[in-house]
Amino acid sequence: MHYNSVIEEKLAVSTSIIACVFDGGVALGADSRTSSGVFITNRVADKLTKITDNIYCCRSGSAADTQAISDIVSYHLAFQKAETGEEPSVATAAAVFQELCYNHREQLTAGIIVAGYDKVKGGQVYNIPLGGMCVEKKCAMGGAGSTYVYGYMDSNFKENMTEQEVKKFILHLLALAMSRDGSSGGVVNICIIDGQGPPRKEFYIGDQIPKYGI
């Protein structure tokens, strides 16, 4: 194996992320495993990153790339808030993410899902996969683990779910992805954003995570 091939394998990373609109807001979820090739480098990484008080993003791809992009977007939106005195919209956050991901698509390995709540459109989810395209969706998934669970999503996702329904849906979907994808695992992180106070994060570990597989 060539030296360059070894380096590329060591830098390969994977994950399972999801964000959904529900009745009253948005819910984000992710596993917590960060891997480098065949090695697990972090079992409890938090892939749900705060951008503003009511906007978060799910990160997949290179941990370094996505952390850097999230910091840059957070800085831009904080500057905008200081200038205008108003909270940035979710669409604005998605547009800044898209611009960065598209303009630097040759250098970055970054798949981002932007989700949040604002007073203009309520709960929103924007999917920005590798390459920098941006699409608003009711439910978006990313990461290698998502390839195993599109059938589950199609069969079980429904619009206007309650908060409890959407949390159960995300928990089972991520548990299934983690059972099939070797690069996904650890604990399940879920974040609820509904504009009724600060975002609420929940962590599911051990027996709290449904078991799938033979």
* Residues that are catalytic: 15
* HEC sequence for 106-126: CCCCEEEEEEEEECCCEEEEE
| Pairwise CA distance, residues 181 & 160, whole Å | 29
Are 123 and 193 in contact by the 8 Å Cβ rule? The answer is yes
Cα–Cα distance list, 87 to 19, 51, 116, 188, 195 (Å): 21, 11, 12, 29, 12
Interatomic CA distance for residues 134 and 142, integer angstroms: 13
Half-sphere exposure of residue 111: CA atoms within 13 angstroms, side-chain side: 18
